Structure 1
Amino acid sequence: MSGHLWQLPYSSLLFNRTKLYQGLYALPKMKIYSLCSSKQIQTTTYEVVNGSYLETSLVKQENKTKDTTPAPVALDTVGAFQKLPMVMPSVDIYYSALRKARRVSPTKGIANAAKREKNKGAKQLDALMKELTLPLKTYKEKFPNKRHLHPYERSLIELTLGDGNYEEVLGKVDSLRKKLVSVGKEHASLCAQSSTKREAEERLAEGIKRLEEIFHSDGKAVDELMQIAKSLRAMPVVDLEMPTLCLVGAPNVGKSSLVRILSTGKPEICNYPFTTRGILMGHITLSYQHFQVTDTPGILRRRDEDRNNLEKLTLAVLAHLPTAVLFVHDLTGECGTSPSDQFLIYQEIKERFSSHLWIDVVSKCDLLQESPVFYITEDADADHSELLKYRTTGPDGALRVSVKSQVGINELKSRVHELLVSQSARLNIEKPEATTNASSPRKIFI
């Protein structure tokens, strides 16, 4: 917020004196009289269930047993970030509230000047408090509880904002709201208790000054929330029902270049590690079918606890979104991650996400010679037949492509289309069938 806006003398903020029942219906008990005595008979109710008469008590017991079965859990959905409310800068909230409060006039019909002034002061302080706290209350209600979000979006919050920062800022905003309510009510009450016109004016000015100090001191939480909303709203929208292809690999192996070739996504192409600093979402239209493509940050060879947030973001996409994988390998030694390290990264990711549909691509094939290229950190004497084979041709069945010479690009597009059609069929199979509520049994009373 602009500092000079808060340097206005308090006197300039003073107000002018101008306007500122489910179940069976049981039959009643019946009496049947014989020649010598009488006794009470309780009627029994029955229900027709599957063509048979069953006592109501048995049916209820059976239904009670059935009711203990847990209800199906609703599927998580994404898109919460696009529903976040617009957050106003704190300075705009304050001066908008101030202008509205100044237009509040005293209750009509008060002839006594002192009573009229204290009535106006109390009403204006109450109005100022309400105008300041209303947007804060809206933010608290409209920003979702992180526990209710889809796991993917929950991961985005933690990795983008830092663990706990989202909840902390929302907590600060709500604390500010509570403090403003308390102080505003207190000073409005004091103003209403004034005995003279001048005392009412002084208590009004004092109340405004106190509310301003609080908002100036703690209002930065609103500005922090505004930045959070901007960051989250800028996250790419993911359609969980649309087949998605996720490009994965070490940094700088050519993932972003392939996204440009395959989709509408336009990632930044640079020759340094971690070019992709977030998730980029593109779209493919093949044979009138629409698909998604995601470019993810590169993964290095290291333990999970040592990974940075960019690498964790890639793992979050693979863990929480229904994606097929296009794993990109660079055997030229140009990307900065040796083929040996890429081999180990590949084995780890392949094992961890073995249920995903998969394509392997060896990029930059125009730079490869007949013999493998060894990066400076390579152990050329390693006695590992699978690794030696990987250095030369990559994984079994890998497709060699070159964005520069267009080698293998058409075949890649065809393979990607086939993969995404398979992913689409998988998603349709995994969709839970709509449950139909069985009609309730007819009730018969005998």
Structure 2
Amino acid sequence: MSTSGLKAIAPVPKASDFLDIVLSKTQRKTPTVIHKNFKISRIRNFYMRKVKFTQDSFDEKLGAILEEFPIIDDLHPFLSSLLNVLYDKNHYKLALGQLRTARHLIDQVAKDYVRLLKFGDSLYRCKQLKRAALGRMATIMKRQNEALEFLEEVRKHMSRLPAIDPTARTLLICGYPNVGKSSFLNKVTRADVDVQPYAFTTKSLFVGHLDHRYMRWQVIDTPGILDHPLEEMNNIEMQSITALAHLKACVLYFMDLSEQCGYSVEAQCKLFNAIKPLFANKPTVLVLNKADVARLEDLEPERRAMVEEIINSEGVRHVQCSCYSDEGVMIVKTTACDALLEHRVDTKLKGNKVNAILNRLHVAQPKPRDEVVRTPCIPEAVKERKKYDKTDPERRKLERDVEAEEGGAGVYNINLRKNYLLADEEWKNDVIPEIMDGKNVADFIDPDILEKLDALEREEEKLEAEGFYESGSDMYDSDDERDAVAAKYALKKKIVSQGTKKAMKNRALLPRTAGLRTLSELTTDMTKAGLDPSRIQERAEILAKVAGAKRKRQREEDAEMDVDEDAEMGDEGEWMDVDGEETPKLKRAKDNSGAVITKNARHPRTNRQLAGMRDEAQASKAVKLRNLGQRERNMQARAGESDRAIKTKMPKHLFAGKRKMGKTDRR
């Protein structure tokens, strides 16, 4: 767990606010109306529900606090020690223990009073038992006011802690106050730590992040440490000691050889030797800061010997830098990161897990097959890539050099055609570099095509004006022939259009010729296939008889309906014979082509729109009254009687909770 997980803890209310939250929730979420004429069992259940709900509310709130605050013994050793330095581990545990005890006492009080309420014999006694139960719970919570306030202060301080991950790759900066630790952190990371020319400007841990070898690193700036016993160190110094003791990091010990920090070189060397046991199993880099003022070579022999003694220690590297002039700052960062990576690799190789991997690896070594010496060969292209120096005139010209010559980023546009592999180098920058059959298409485009087209159009207009095309009007001998040709082309166009996808959408799945088979062909094919066609033959004969009878009856009806040449129309629309007799069932006649023509169509005897009405006047009046009745509803867009939609799914008076003191006209 990192310190970032401590920032999500919810605020802890005071005891008075705690009671207001719980008791108001009980009043809102439980019934509030009780009468003395209720059954005693209902009265008991009413007040037992109050007590149990209050107990659950206290249990829920206290349980949330106890779960969100971390248990110190379960944290990472660094975080556990840091919380112990900042808040006193014993006081922190005592506060959480008091809340845990209070929750247990509240549960016991609720349990006891619920047992008493089961035997309440009146409304008054049940009410007093409920009142006593809630009062004892409130008294228990009031006694936890100091523990709640302490936990709230701890929560506020935790939310301001930097997000330190104990398992991440870490660079740890330490040393005397005012030696340039915060300045280095501002240089190599995006952090913004306050830098002042006096001691103990940094009073807590600060974290910054940097990228090295495509990996994220965290850099921790610790407060300054003075050279005195551990028992005499204050909370500010103990934060540094805690980080040095528990974080697996690369330690950067800063020294100021110019003594501008206010502490001598001897004191700084003595502090290094005092805290050196904390550097065990950690890569250490001795950073000689403020090299622009004083360097190691400029020191007196005695002081220089003391510093070199530290440098010659096992596992200690040294770098001289200056945060003021940026000299060696990046070297310090690279040296520290590489030292930590090497240390991590060595630690893994010394462990037992690496054996399981090494057992599965095999490095093949080539065996000599002759006496020829084969030395390593580096291709010339690779050598050219390695040899890149801006001052070398013979270096290979790169794309960024061309970009700089052409105006830089935002102005230069790379030419993607220069790498085309074409037969002729001049084809690369053609307007249309399309190649077909090894030839450039642009070579076959006539540049004068538009002018030639205009000349052709002028020539056509001239021929048309001179009457060159008028002889074509005598192509057809008559209008009938011209119409026949036009109909032929229209039919051809229709056939072509029927072949489109849209026209073929509703076509028959089977061809029309599939059904044009005789009975003999069908029986022959079925017999060859080994099937019995007798039932199909019987059915075909029956259908043929029915179809013949139907055609005979149709011919008789058509004969009856044929119009005699002597027939004529009567005065009342009936067909009459010349002798004055009515022709029976005469409805249709035929023209010369045989098409049926309806002479007197049969109309309905009554108008259905007037059904139930005396006459048309009464029907029109009914329509007017209907429209008049619907006018207001249509204007207001109201639903009619047939609309069964329920517009309000949740009526407010049923779902808004209990009524408060005030007006009751809403129901």
Contact 2:321 2:327 in 1 (8 A): yes
Q: Which residue of 2 aligns with 1:298?
A: 224
Flag the 1:192–1:252 CA change in 2: closer, same or farther, 3 A. Answer: farther
Flag the 1:141–1:392 CA change in 2: closer, same or farther, 3 A. Answer: closer
Which among 156, 174, 177 is matched to residue 248 of structure 1?
174
Q: Which residue of 2 aligns with 1:146?
A: 72
Q: Which residue of 1 aligns with 2:24?
A: 99
Contact 2:208 2:218 in 1 (8 A): yes
Q: Which residues in structure 2 correspond to 1:38-437 (within 5 Å)?
A: 81-82=5-6, 85-90=9-14, 91-102=16-27, 103-105=29-31, 112=38, 114-368=40-294, 386-390=302-306, 395=311, 398-426=318-346, 428-429=348-349, 433=353
Tell me how far 1:300 sits from its aligned partner: 1.0
Amino acid at match of 2:86: T
Query: Which protein has the bigger strand share?
Result: 1
For the residues of structure 1 that align with 2:328 and 2:123, how far apart are their CA atoms?
87
Contact 2:210 2:216 in 1 (8 A): yes
Amino acid at match of 2:120: S
SS at match of 2:292: helix
For the residues of structure 2 that align with 1:121 and 1:347, how far apart are their CA atoms?
71
For the residues of structure 2 that align with 1:287 and 1:249, how far apart are their CA atoms?
27
Tell me how far 1:432 sits from its aligned partner: 6.2
SS at match of 1:164: helix
Tell me how far 1:386 sits from its aligned partner: 4.9
SS at match of 1:206: helix
For the residues of structure 1 that align with 2:145 and 2:62, how far apart are their CA atoms?
10
Deviations 1:344-381 (A, max 9, x none): 001223354243212111222333389979xxxxxx9x
Contact 2:78 2:166 in 1 (8 A): no
Q: Which residue of 2 aligns with 1:4?
A: none
Contact 2:251 2:279 in 1 (8 A): no
Flag the 1:369–1:106 CA change in 2: closer, same or farther, 3 A. Answer: closer
Contact 1:372 1:392 in 2 (8 A): no
Q: Percent of aligned pairs with the same residue?
A: 24
Deviations 1:392-438 (A, max 9, x none): 999566433222222222333332343343345346547763999xx
Deviations 1:142-186 (A, max 9, x none): 544322322111111211111412211111111221222233333
For the residues of structure 2 that align with 1:393 and 1:408, how far apart are their CA atoms?
22
SS at match of 1:248: strand
Amino acid at match of 2:321: V
Amino acid at match of 2:245: A
Taking only aligned residues, the RMSD between alpha carbons, in angstroms, comes to 3.5
Amino acid at match of 2:61: P
Tell me how far 1:219 sits from its aligned partner: 3.4
Tell me how far 1:85 sits from its aligned partner: 4.5
Amino acid at match of 1:86: A
Q: Which residue of 2 aligns with 1:37?
A: none
For the residues of structure 1 that align with 2:4 and 2:189, how far apart are their CA atoms?
25
For the residues of structure 2 that align with 1:180 and 1:434, how far apart are their CA atoms?
55
Contact 1:251 1:299 in 2 (8 A): yes
For the residues of structure 2 that align with 1:387 and 1:414, how far apart are their CA atoms?
28
SS at match of 1:326: strand
TM-score normalized by the length of structure 2 = 0.47
For the residues of structure 2 that align with 1:158 and 1:269, how far apart are their CA atoms?
28
For the residues of structure 2 that align with 1:281 and 1:427, how far apart are their CA atoms?
25
For the residues of structure 2 that align with 1:163 and 1:184, how far apart are their CA atoms?
32
For the residues of structure 1 that align with 2:252 and 2:296, how far apart are their CA atoms?
25
Q: Which residue of 1 aligns with 2:518?
A: none
SS at match of 2:285: strand
Deviations 1:196-237 (A, max 9, x none): 223333333333333223222323323322332343354334
Tell me how far 1:390 sits from its aligned partner: 4.6
SS at match of 2:353: coil
For the residues of structure 2 that align with 1:433 and 1:371, how far apart are their CA atoms?
46
Contact 1:278 1:296 in 2 (8 A): yes
For the residues of structure 1 that align with 2:33 and 2:349, how far apart are their CA atoms?
67
Number of aligned residue pairs: 350
Contact 2:4 2:162 in 1 (8 A): no
Contact 1:362 1:399 in 2 (8 A): yes
For the residues of structure 2 that align with 1:80 and 1:125, how far apart are their CA atoms?
39
Flag the 1:168–1:365 CA change in 2: closer, same or farther, 3 A. Answer: same
Contact 1:247 1:295 in 2 (8 A): yes
Task: List gaps (5 residues or longer) in structure 1.
Answer: 1-76, 374-379, 437-446
Flag the 1:282–1:253 CA change in 2: closer, same or farther, 3 A. Answer: same
Tell me how far 1:294 sits from its aligned partner: 0.8
TM-score normalized by the length of structure 1 = 0.68
SS at match of 2:225: coil
Deviations 1:85-108 (A, max 9, x none): 434314554333223322223899
For the residues of structure 2 that align with 1:435 and 1:179, how far apart are their CA atoms?
56
Amino acid at match of 1:421: L
Deviations 1:39-89 (A, max 9, x none): xxxxxxxxxxxxxxxxxxxxxxxxxxxxxxxxxxxxxx6569538743431
Amino acid at match of 2:303: L
For the residues of structure 1 that align with 2:353 and 2:167, how far apart are their CA atoms?
14
Amino acid at match of 1:89: P
Contact 2:245 2:278 in 1 (8 A): no
For the residues of structure 2 that align with 1:197 and 1:430, how far apart are their CA atoms?
78
In our comparison, the structure showing a higher alpha carbon Rg is 2
Flag the 1:198–1:117 CA change in 2: closer, same or farther, 3 A. Answer: same
Task: List gaps (5 residues or longer) in structure 2.
Answer: 357-667
Flag the 1:352–1:95 CA change in 2: closer, same or farther, 3 A. Answer: closer
Flag the 1:361–1:405 CA change in 2: closer, same or farther, 3 A. Answer: same
For the residues of structure 2 that align with 1:244 and 1:88, how far apart are their CA atoms?
33
Q: Which residue of 2 aligns with 1:444?
A: none
Flag the 1:364–1:392 CA change in 2: closer, same or farther, 3 A. Answer: farther
Amino acid at match of 2:325: S
Contact 2:287 2:321 in 1 (8 A): yes
More deviation in 319-328 or 189-198? 189-198
